[in-house]
Amino acid sequence: MRRAIALAASGLGSTSPNPVVGCLILDASGRPVGEGFHRRAGGPHAEIHALRAAGERARGGTAYVTLEPCDHTGRTGPCSQALVEAGVARVSYAVADPNPRATGGGETLRAAGITVEQGLLAEEAEAGNIAWLTSVRLGRPHVTWKYAATLDGRIAAADSTSRWITSAEARADVHRLRAEADAVVVGSGTARTDDPHLAVRGIEGAVQPLRVVVDTEATAVRPGARILDGAAPTLIAVAEDAAPTDSAHLPDVVRLPRGARGLDIPALLRALYERGVRSVLLEGGPALAGSFVAAGAVDKVIGYLAPVLLGAGPAALADAGITTIAEALRLRMTESVRIGPDLRITAIPEPAGPAAPAVAARGPAAVTAVTTAPAVPGTTTTKER
C-alpha cells in the first residue's frame, strides 16, 4: 500500500478534477506484477493501468489501491467491474470514496466473491489525496497558504525590499508546490509590488496551474504584466461593482461579490471549484492571507523560514479577525524540513472542539522520524509517521 501511495503522488497537479490514485497488483504468490497511477482526467484510472501491466497474472492475486475502486461509468468504465473481470481474489483499499456518484465499489467487489479490506495506511493515503477529498467533502478547493519570512516573521524589509529572503533551494521547492496545485492565487498588492509570473519553472512535464489575481478594484493588472504572458492560463477576479475599466488586455475576468475584506473568499473558491480547481496554492501577501484565514479557508500552512533577522517590515499575516489569544488559529506541525540554509515548516489547523490527544495516545505507530527529504537533495526532514 505504501508503494501505491507513492505511485498516486506521481499524478499530483495533473488529474483534477479527479483524485490522485495509485494501484499495485500482486499475483497469487504475492509477487508484484503490475502497478499504475491515474495520470489525467479522462484517462484510464490507476487500476486499469495496473491490470494492463499485470495481464493474466492478476488472476487470483491482490490489488492494493489508495482509494475505493469507482463503481460508475463516466469518461471511463467502473474499476470495480474491471477488477472482477480480471479475476483478482482480494482487494485492499485505503480510503472509502466519499463521492456519492462513484462510491459502492467495495460492495460490488464483495458481491462478486472478492475479499475486500479497507483502511490500510488510510491516514497516509488520505494525506496524499487531501486536495480532492477536501473538495468533495466541502464543495470548495483545498487551500495551502505558502509564505517566506525571516526568523522574526518579516516578509520584507522596512523599505519594502524582499528579494530574496529565502535561498534558491527554497524557491525551487516552491515551484514544486506550484506544479502540484491547480491554481496559484495572489492579491492586488503582490501584483503591483512584485509583478509576479507565477508559472512553474524548472520542472519537466509540469501542468501549468491557473494563475489568479484577486484584483478587487480592477486596477492592479496592467498591460504588459508578466502574468499575462501566455505561459499559463490566467484569471483576474474583480468585484462585481468595480468601476468599469479597459480590460481588453485581460485574458479572463470573473466578477464576484465583496466581502468584509475585499472580495468574498467563499465566492472566489466556489468560482474556482466550478472551473475544475481542486487545490489552491495561496501565495498572496499578508492582507489576502488574512482574508483567507478570517474566512476559515486555509487548510494547510507552509512557511519557509530563513535564518535572517530584519526587526522591522511587514509581517507574514495581516488582520485575520483575531483579537485575543483565545481566538488564535492553533496549528499542528506535521513536518519540518531543512532546505539549503532555510527551514520549511508544514502545519494544519487543529480541529475545532476539545484539544487533540497527545501523540503518544495515537498508538505505537505515531513516532517521529528523521529522514532525507525527497523534494531537495541533501535536506533533512522530521515527519510525524
- Looking at residue 238, which CATH number applies to its domain? 3.40.430.10
Last residue of a domain, one of 70, 103, 129: 129
Residue 8, pLDDT above cutoff 80: yes
Q: CA geometry: angle at 90 spanning 85 and 96, to 5°?
A: 95
User: Which amino acid makes up residue 142?
Assistant: H
Give the pLDDT confidence score for residue 99 in this predicted structure. 84
Identify whether residues 105 and 251 lie together within a single domain.
no
Residue 358's pLDDT band (boundaries 50, 70, 90)? very low
Identify whether residues 74 and 147 lie together within a single domain.
no
* CA 190 to centroid of chain Cα atoms: 22
| Enclosing H/E stretch for 375 | none
Domain that holds residue 218: 139-328
**% of the chain residues with pLDDT over 90:** 76
Identify whether residues 181 and 69 lie together within a single domain.
no
Instruction: Give me the sign of the Cα torsion angle 159, 161, 167, 173.
Output: positive
Residue 361's pLDDT band (boundaries 50, 70, 90)? very low
| Enclosing H/E stretch for 206 | none
Residue 332, pLDDT above cutoff 60: yes
330: how many CB neighbours lie within 10 A of its CB?
Answer: 11
Domain count, the chain: 2
Q: Is 217 a catalytic residue?
A: no
Residue 360's pLDDT band (boundaries 50, 70, 90)? very low
Residue 155 lies in a domain: yes
Identify whether residues 314 and 256 lie together within a single domain.
yes
Cβ-contact 133, 21 below 8 angstroms: no
Give the pLDDT confidence score for residue 284 in this predicted structure. 81
Determine the Cα–Cα distance for residues 261 and 322; give it in Å rounded to an integer: 14
237-262 mean pLDDT: 86
Question: Which of 68, 55, 77 lies closest to 21, judged by CA?
Answer: 68
pLDDT in tens, 20-58: 999 999 999 999 999 999 999 889 999 999 999 999 999
Identify whether residues 145 and 281 lie together within a single domain.
yes
351-369 mean pLDDT: 38
Residue 64 lies in a domain: yes
Residue 352's pLDDT band (boundaries 50, 70, 90)? low
Residue of 47, 68, 180, 283 with catalytic role: 47
Q: Which of 66-70, 199-203, 359-363, 375-379 has the lowest mean pLDDT?
A: 359-363
Last residue of a domain, one of 129, 157, 175: 129
Give the pLDDT confidence score for residue 129 in this predicted structure. 96
3-class DSSP state of 124: helix
Determine the Cα–Cα distance for residues 331 and 356; give it in Å rounded to an integer: 11
Cα–Cα distance list, 297 to 154, 156, 364 (Å): 23, 25, 32
Question: Which of 261, 258, 264, 266 lies closest to 240, judged by CA?
Answer: 258
Identify whether residues 124 and 147 lie together within a single domain.
no
Instruction: Give me the sign of the Cα torsion angle 158, 159, 162, 165.
Output: negative
Identify whether residues 12 and 147 lie together within a single domain.
no
Determine the Cα–Cα distance for residues 231 and 235; give it in Å rounded to an integer: 13
Mean pLDDT, all residues of the chain? 88
pLDDT in tens, 134-145: 999 999 999 999
Residue 103 lies in a domain: yes
Residue 363 lies in a domain: no
Residue 3's pLDDT band (boundaries 50, 70, 90)? very high
Residue 356 lies in a domain: no
Last residue of a domain, one of 292, 313, 328: 328
Q: Are strands 234-239 and 90-95 parallel, antiparallel or unpaired?
A: unpaired
Residue 385, pLDDT above cutoff 90: no
**% of the chain residues with pLDDT over 70:** 90
User: Which amino acid makes up residue 228?
Assistant: L
Determine the Cα–Cα distance for residues 256 and 272; give it in Å rounded to an integer: 11
| Enclosing H/E stretch for 346 | strand 342-349
Residue 383, pLDDT above cutoff 70: no
Identify whether residues 30 and 162 lie together within a single domain.
no
- Higher pLDDT, residue 378 or 182: 182
Give the pLDDT confidence score for residue 76 in this predicted structure. 74
Residue 371, pLDDT above cutoff 50: no
Q: Residue 125 — left, alpha, or beta (φ > 0 → left; ψ -120 to 50 → alpha)?
A: alpha
Identify whether residues 165 and 291 lie together within a single domain.
yes
Q: Are strands 368-372 and 380-384 parallel, antiparallel or unpaired?
A: antiparallel
Residues β-bridged to residue 304: 148, 344
H helices of 245-354, in order, are 265-274, 286-294
224-231 mean pLDDT: 91
In this structure, what C-alpha cell is assigned to residue 111?
458481491
272-276 mean pLDDT: 96
290-315 mean pLDDT: 95
Give the pLDDT confidence score for residue 353 in this predicted structure. 52
User: Which amino acid makes up residue 6?
Assistant: A
3-class DSSP state of 235: strand
Q: Are strands 342-349 and 300-306 parallel, antiparallel or unpaired?
A: antiparallel
Identify whether residues 299 and 223 lie together within a single domain.
yes
Residue 287 lies in a domain: yes
Give the pLDDT confidence score for residue 356 in this predicted structure. 40
Residue 211 lies in a domain: yes
Residue 51 lies in a domain: yes
Residue 246, pLDDT above cutoff 80: no
Q: What is the pTM of this model?
A: 0.86
pLDDT in tens, 176-222: 999 999 999 999 999 998 899 999 999 988 999 999 999 999 899 98
Determine the Cα–Cα distance for residues 346 and 343; give it in Å rounded to an integer: 10
Residue 161, pLDDT above cutoff 60: yes
Identify whether residues 174 and 301 lie together within a single domain.
yes
Question: Strands across the sheet with 183-187, in order?
Answer: 253-256, 234-239, 210-214, 183-187, 279-282, 142-150, 300-306, 342-349, 331-339, 380-384, 368-372
Q: Which of 78-92, 115-129, 214-228 has the lowest mean pLDDT?
A: 214-228
Identify whether residues 114 and 178 lie together within a single domain.
no
Question: Which of 212, 206, 140, 213 lies closest to 178, judged by CA?
Answer: 206
